[in-house]
């Protein structure tokens, strides 16, 4: 109800402003018309008396002057009095024979501008509009006063004011009523959308609000809400999968640690068996730590943590990663080599880029057969800088080349060849590439194996 009430208040304020302006204009025009009539009479009668003089002034001269001007200018309801000092020289017939001197003195002290006051001549105390003129010429020293009652005019103006006030209030009420009806009709689609949205729970995000019929704005609102619900549904699905996969992936190393710890605690276990169990516990714990570290890295990416930007030379990046990853590759019987097609510089997070490339190198080292070479290369072309990691492993089936970058996804045989893996390494690669406005491609390598290629814009 706030919108209709606000509309009614605005309408009332607008109508009140219009009414005040109309009233002021009407009052001003009415008074201007009355003053114009007074000025016309004063000018006509005063000029005639100034030319004829006061010696031959008859008692009915003012009456005749008014009557002649009434005929000529259509002026009515006026009275006049002519005096000099305390002596009345002439008056209209509606005024009494005796006019008291104080009244004349008050009139004589007035200026020439029209004014409003109660008349003191007839005893009726009418509210009148006066104009005083001091004559010259043959009537020098005389004062002419012309006035008329404005009681009737004021009553008419008061009636008009009341009508304006009533119309303003009625207009505001009508505007409020129309606003109530219009808002109720306009908000019907919103009510439907609200009810539908209220019934949608966190565990049933597959429902959608009905498409609003009517205005284009409500249709767009329904579309935006449905799009938001779709994104929420996908986010909840990913979250549920993430929780389930994380629990599954963490359960395996935890189970290994518990089993090996129990074996090491057996009373009949030999020192060699205990040492083997402890080595297995260390490897499982190391894999568990890597998984937690990977999860934290992806969580920071999901939270939109701002990257630190700096100029990174790909030649130096490749050299550093090959040197730090070489010992692990050697334990798998893998040799690392690197080549530089063309040195290039990119703007980005050096630590993130190094982790991305290291994950690709470690992934290739884990799946490539012992005795083979994993090649790391860098270069640029067509406005893009690229990094490649080439192995002689089993390759990636074409149907899995996008899915392999999803979190916790491990292809067939992955858990057997790399039980300590978390399934997050390639997900981090894809996320780092995305945050550097790049992409990751999986290609077949000639002669067997896979090529993981990262492309990013150059500086």
pLDDT-derived band at 71, boundaries 50, 70, 90:
very low
pLDDT in tens, 404-448: 888 777 765 555 455 555 677 888 888 888 888 899 999 999 888
pLDDT-wise least confident of 192-206, 279-293, 372-386: 192-206
What count of other Cβ atoms lies within 10 Å of the Cβ of residue 285? 15
311 in Cβ contact with 347 (< 8 Å):
yes
Determine the pLDDT at residue 451: 93
Q: Average pLDDT over the chain, rounded to whole?
A: 79
Contacts of 83 (CB under 8 A, 6+ apart): 89, 99, 104, 107, 108, 142, 143, 145
Considering the chain, what percentage of its residues have pLDDT values greater than 70? 76
Determine the pLDDT at residue 388: 92
Tell me the whole-structure pTM to 2 decimals: 0.47
Report, as an integer, the average pLDDT of 241-258.
70
What is d(CA 456, CA 430) in angstroms, rounded to the nearest whole number? 12
Determine the pLDDT at residue 361: 92
**Domains parsed from the chain with CATH numbers:** 2-157 (3.30.450.20), 221-305 (1.10.287.130), 307-457 (3.30.565.10)
Determine the pLDDT at residue 278: 85
pLDDT in tens, 278-316: 888 887 777 677 667 766 666 666 656 667 788 888 888
Residue 201 has pLDDT above 90, yes or no: no
Determine the pLDDT at residue 249: 61
Report, as an integer, the average pLDDT of 343-360.
87
Closest CA to 352 of 376, 390, 321: 321
């Amino acid at each position: 109800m706030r919108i209709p009430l606000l509309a009614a208040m605005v309408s009332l304020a607008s109508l009140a402003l219009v009414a005040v302006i109309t009233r002021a204009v009407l009052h001003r025009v009415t008074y201007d018309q009355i003053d114009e009539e007074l000025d016309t009479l004063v000018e006509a009668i005063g000029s005639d008396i100034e030319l004829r003089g006061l010696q031959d002034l008859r008692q009915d001269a003012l009456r005749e002057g008014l009557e002649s001007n009434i005929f000529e200018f259509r002026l009515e309801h006026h009275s006049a009095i002519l005096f000099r000092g305390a002596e009345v020289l002439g008056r209209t017939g509606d005024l009494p024979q005796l006019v008291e001197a104080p009244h004349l003195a008050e009139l004589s002290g007035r200026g020439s501008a029209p004014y409003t006051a109660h008349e003191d001549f007839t005893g009726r105390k009418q509210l009148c509009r006066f104009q005083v003129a001091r004559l010259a010429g043959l009537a020098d020293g005389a004062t002419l006063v012309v006035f008329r009652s404005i009681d009737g005019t004021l009553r008419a103006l008061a009636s008009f004011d009341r009508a304006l006030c009533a119309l303003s209030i009625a207009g505001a009420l009508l505007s409020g009523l129309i606003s109530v009806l219009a808002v109720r009709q306009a908000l019907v689609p919103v009510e439907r959308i609200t009810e539908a949205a209220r019934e949608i729970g966190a565990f049933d995000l597959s429902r959608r609000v009905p498409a609003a019929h009517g205005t284009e704005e409500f249709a767009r609102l329904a579309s935006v809400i449905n799009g938001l619900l779709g994104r929420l549904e996908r986010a909840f699905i990913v979250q549920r999968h993430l929780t389930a996969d994380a629990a599954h992936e963490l359960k395996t190393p935890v189970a290994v640690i518990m089993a090996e710890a129990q074996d090491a605690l057996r009373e009949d276990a030999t020192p060699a068996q205990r040492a083997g169990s402890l080595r297995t516990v260390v490897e499982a714990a190391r894999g568990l730590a890597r998984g937690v570290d990977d999860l934290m890295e992806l969580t920071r990416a999901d939270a939109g943590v701002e990257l630190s930007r700096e100029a990174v030379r790909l030649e130096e990046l490749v050299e550093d990663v090959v040197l730090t990853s070489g010992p692990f590759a050697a334990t798998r019987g893998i040799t690392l080599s690197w080549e530089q097609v063309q040195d290039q510089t990119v703007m980005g997070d050096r630590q993130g880029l190094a982790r991305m490339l290291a994950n690709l190198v470690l992934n290739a080292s884990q799946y490539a057969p012992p005795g083979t070479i994993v090649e790391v290369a860098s270069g640029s072309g067509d406005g893009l800088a690229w990094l490649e990691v080439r192995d002689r492993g089993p390759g990636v089936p074409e149907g899995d080349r996008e899915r392999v970058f999803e979190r916790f996804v491990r292809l067939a045989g992955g858990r057997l060849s790399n039980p300590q893996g978390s399934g997050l390494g390639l997900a981090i690669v894809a996320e780092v590439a995305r945050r550097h406005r790049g992409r990751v491609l999986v290609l077949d390598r000639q002669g067997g194996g896979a090529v993981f290629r990262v492309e990013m814009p150059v500086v």
